Amino acid sequence: GNSAVGHGAMIANGSGRSNTALGTYALADNLEGSFNVAVGSNALVTIEGNNNTALGYRAPLEYRRQQAGMQTD
């Protein structure tokens, strides 16, 4: 089963299974991905795929933006 705690956490989940989302909109757009863990507001919000783990605000989006030299919030 899936576990979700937080406003909008895993709101769009379809066939994804064995996911854990803790935080506002964590794993919000996950449709089919399984075995993902997201802890933090907007963590893994737009992820596709399986077996992902993210910890922190907007992770991994903020990390990718920093690596690309982009301005972060």
51-73 pLDDT, tens digit per residue, is: 999 999 998 875 555 556 655 55
pTM of the model: 0.82
- Distance CA(71)–CA(5), nearest Å, equals 29
| pLDDT tens digits, one per residue of 6-32 | 999 999 999 999 999 999 999 999 999
